[in-house]
Structure 1
Amino acid sequence: MNLFRFLQGLIIVLFFEGAVSSQKLMIYSVPNQIKYSGHNDDFTVQVKQNGGVWRDLFEYNVKVDLDNPQDASMVTFDFEGSVEVRVKKNNGKVREVKIRPSSLGIKHEVIGNDIFFRLDKPVKLSIEINGDRLHNLHLFANPVLKDIPQQNDPNIIYFGPGYHKPGDQPGNVYHIPSGKTVYLDGGAVVNGKFLIDRAKDVKIMGHGIVWHPERGVEIRYSENVYIDGPVFINPSHYTVYGGQVDGLTIENIKSFSCRGWSDGIDLMSCSNVNINDVFLRNSDDCIALYGHRWQFYGSARNIVVKNSVLWADVAHPTNMGLHGNAKAGGDSIENVTFTNLDILEHDEDDPNYQGCFAISNTDNNLVRNITYRNIRIEGIQEGQLFNFRTLYNEKYSGAPGRNVEGVLLENISYTGGFVNPSTIGGYSNERKVDGVRFKNVTINGEPFSLDSRDHVHLKEFISDIKVK
């Protein structure tokens, strides 16, 4: 009996110790170069674990919205287990609070000007007070990193806590050769671009910040590239720019931009791509997929975008087809899947560039086997749910596109009030949109209908468009 009680007590102790060890909270230091110039005092944000004390987070200033750039806020930390978050609005009264994506169902409590909520898993949130989406708080709660590289490993390029900027390298560029892993400590702020050119087996990882670079990561003519974790704050142009890349994985990156041509992830002639668990708030396309453009050649195949949050202050959350090798008969953009996405905003006043899901097929391209599945759209300030066209774009095209073939929209919901009707249209009998299927698509609770002019405008040169 005594032995039984001893073993029982030992099991309880080991269980308790295991539970305690699974509770981790990691908050990183901020370089002096950023503490004052990069701070936003709209909010005071604190976090704690069960039985712990409140710990302050640094509220970074991030610029959003091309039309009229505004100062929003961002905080980031790592944790395991569960945490409680306190957000205090420092200016004005709290009348209404929204925590998005709504699909996460984050419950909150408001006491005065303090907002409290609990997290039990990593999330990427927008916390909006009194309907203000331009001065909101973005909160990124990361998982705790495992297997952190050793600083003395010759294959590791290590950026520790502090401010980093290339020394005598033109263009503020860090050149990353084959076989190297770049690690950004959570307290690292890097003011420069990472360039991967004609390299393979390269990793960029860590929860540090890439601060106001020309581009975040530029990848050319490379293979097997992996990017996981950093926050990219206000690059002048693209966050991730890929040209002729085979084998690209992008996970858990967070991005803000507010300038023209400051897209999130733009890929030209890239294949075998996996984009997972990213948050992109950009003032141009969040994700754009093309064939040939500039010095890059080839088709784009086998691309998956999943488990992510997209917010296009201007232009498209998703876009494909606009560029290809028109002189050589065009490229193929095929086998592309978007799944389990939350689209928080789409705002574009130019009808040529509208659509949360945009296929603007030009340059003799063939676009086929495209799937949009399990996607929730919360807001369209101005734009369309989808825009599928084979067309000639006077600004960019060398020729109209070939066909758009085989597009599936399944389990799609829009819940953002009035939205412009979507568009399906071809260019000619030989260059049309063919084979579009709708399954369980709703607009503000109403089933999508091809017969409703409020839902869609069906243009010429289309065939086999069906709702199931």
Structure 2
Amino acid sequence: MIRLAKSPAAPDGSRDITDLYKVKVNGIDCDVHPARVSAMPFNRAWPGKQRSIDQSELAAFISFEADEKVTLTIECQKSFEKAIVRPLSKNVSVSSEGTTVVMEITECGQYVLELDDEHQALHIFVNKPNDYPDAGSATYYYGPGVHYPGLVRLKSGDRVYVDKEAVVNGSFMGEGVHDIKIFGQGIIDGTYEERLIEHCYLSSTKGNIKFYDCSDISIEGVILRNSAIWVISLFGCNLVHIDGVKIIGQWRYNTDGVDICNSKDVVVKNSFIRAFDDVITIKGIPDYRHLPVGHILVDNCVMWCGWGRNIEIGIETYCTEFSNIEFRNCELVHSSASCIDIQNGGVAEISHIRFENINVEYSNKCMQEVYQESDEMKYEAHGRVGMPYLIFADNFKFILPNATEEEINTFGITHGIIYKNINVYLDDGLPMPCIHIGSRSADAVPYDFFIDGLYVNGKKILDLSEMTYTPDPNVTKIFVS
């Protein structure tokens, strides 16, 4: 079975499509949606105004349902020499002639077609067929068409359904509510929300989805595009289930993918996240310092980091502990500053953390991350290759305005960290990736880091000296096997 969706027409007659690509799925025309993304890893602290649009570019995506092998025939506007499909571990068969690409996909999931480099990529979302029998009873039913609800404040028990042929221009927010479900395969778009203040923690700017002090939350299947700030953010929440979500079209400042703050019992799985900042980050902030962070699982996700950290704990770690956190079976198709990251910038004890079966791709076309120092400064690192840290762990202080004196003077401790079956795909000509495990205080020494199965292009690494690595005298007990 293959089911395609038609892009709806807005009131002015325009449709949510782009001519970057023309796609046929098993010979049937498939609408191609636009997504504005960051064109370069060029970022700064919030300057009081939004990022310049000339630092962005248009990419594209398609989304359809299938439970059988599909052949995609893709006419590309862009001329190219080489077509590649990520994640590389999926070994997707692809061929090209002129500006036409043909590829076969045999299983549901998320894929990216790149032509020579990462620019103007086509993102491909293949979903399992779902008839959504509960859609008719939804509190908010967004059927085929373009909708403009603006901010929707959710109440306990609410259901939000977004049809696969719907574009919903707005944000969804809950405070102190429970039993919420947002589901469907349509688009939630934040284009019309403007950010006016710096802090991401406050409710002034919502992003696509934001919850405070909520429980029993389910977010399934939807596509989240062009958020004004963190795309999905959770503060003091528990029992949260995020499944099959696609985050795309993020280019504005601080458009992290999923931020999990002082929350517990959270699952993020089967999702695609392309963010302009940290992709999935687990934090503790001072306003919720009484709530520890734990029992969090990220499973079977495809991640693309346009700036900052890909999978991260920190940098805000203002609570007593982070524990029982696991990232597994994930594909890191692009990274920026670092790939697998722990920044204990507060006071927490971080322990019982596991990164397992993580595939990390290093491209020789990766752009170098640059911090923008002023309005006048331009990105001038074109042609320089970026080499993100593969593993980064440190406890340099990140001091927030409402931190106590004790918190300012106390370093967090990190221990009991497992990296198991980390597979690196390293392009020809690139140096070995860098690993950094350090501490800024002899009184807060990280210990018990276990690297069990680190592979670079299939070769097992038996000693960190084989990587780019400088030992830190403040760190003890790193075990490689």
Q: Which amino acid aligns with 2:393?
A: F
1:339 aligns with 2:328: yes
* Residue equivalent to 2:140: 157
* Residue equivalent to 1:323: 316
* Residue equivalent to 2:83: 97
1:430 aligns with 2:460: no
CA distance in 2 between counterparts of 1:385 and 1:33 reads 47
* Residue equivalent to 2:394: 389
Deviation, 1:446, is 4.3
> Superposition pairs for residues 8-19 of structure 1, below 5 Å?
none
Larger RCO (CA under 8 A, 6+ residues apart): 2
CA distance in 2 between counterparts of 1:451 and 1:109 reads 38
Query: Equivalent of 1:138, from 123, 131, 142?
Result: 123
* Two-structure CA RMSD over aligned residues (Å): 2.2
How many residues in Structure 1 have an aligned counterpart in Structure 2? 423
* Residue equivalent to 2:71: 84
Report Cα offsets for 1:188-238 as digits up to 9, x if no partner. Answer: 111110002111111000000011254111011000100001111111111
Q: Which amino acid aligns with 2:70?
A: V
Residue 161 of structure 2 contacts residue 182 of structure 2 at CA under 8 Å; is this kept in 1? Answer: yes
Residue 64 of structure 1 contacts residue 134 of structure 1 at CA under 8 Å; is this kept in 2? Answer: no
Report Cα offsets for 1:336-369 as digits up to 9, x if no partner. Answer: 1110111011123xxxxxx211111122111101
TM-score, normalised to structure 2, is 0.83
Deviates most, 60-69 or 268-277: 60-69
* Residue equivalent to 2:100: 114
Deviates most, 277-286 or 390-399: 390-399
Report Cα offsets for 1:363-413 as digits up to 9, x if no partner. Answer: 211110111111111126332001111222367875343210101111101
CA distance in 1 between counterparts of 2:85 and 2:460 reads 26
Deviation, 1:432, is 1.4
Deviation, 1:38, is 4.5
Query: Equivalent of 1:406, from 388, 411, 416?
Result: 416
Report SS of the residue matched to 2:315. coil
Q: Which amino acid aligns with 1:423?
A: H
CA distance in 1 between counterparts of 2:288 and 2:327 reads 27
* Residue equivalent to 1:229: 221
Unaligned runs of 5+ in 1: 1-22, 167-171, 349-354
* Residue equivalent to 1:303: 296
* Residue equivalent to 1:39: 17
CA distance in 2 between counterparts of 1:385 and 1:78 reads 34
CA distance in 2 between counterparts of 1:35 and 1:118 reads 34
Residue 176 of structure 2 contacts residue 213 of structure 2 at CA under 8 Å; is this kept in 1? Answer: yes
* Residue equivalent to 1:367: 350
Report SS of the residue matched to 2:120. coil
Report SS of the residue matched to 1:78. strand
Report SS of the residue matched to 2:442. coil
Query: Equivalent of 1:63, from 5, 23, 37?
Result: 37
* Residue equivalent to 1:286: 279
Q: Which amino acid aligns with 1:194?
A: F
Q: Which amino acid aligns with 1:224?
A: D
CA distance in 1 between counterparts of 2:469 and 2:357 reads 20
Q: Which amino acid aligns with 1:360?
A: Q
CA distance in 2 between counterparts of 1:338 and 1:82 reads 29
Residue 447 of structure 2 contacts residue 476 of structure 2 at CA under 8 Å; is this kept in 1? Answer: yes
Report SS of the residue matched to 2:118. coil
* Residue equivalent to 2:164: 186
Q: Which amino acid aligns with 1:448?
A: I
Change (3 A) 1:150 1:344: closer
Residue 180 of structure 2 contacts residue 218 of structure 2 at CA under 8 Å; is this kept in 1? Answer: yes
CA distance in 2 between counterparts of 1:160 and 1:414 reads 43
Query: Equivalent of 1:415, from 407, 415, 425?
Result: 425
CA distance in 1 between counterparts of 2:270 and 2:12 reads 27
Deviation, 1:297, is 4.6
Change (3 A) 1:142 1:34: farther
* Residue equivalent to 1:25: 3
TM-score, normalised to structure 1, is 0.85
Report Cα offsets for 1:6-42 as digits up to 9, x if no partner. Answer: xxxxxxxxxxxxxxxxx23232332335974743322
Report Cα offsets for 1:277-323 as digits up to 9, x if no partner. Answer: 11111110001101234467511100010101111011111111322
**Residue identity (%):** 20
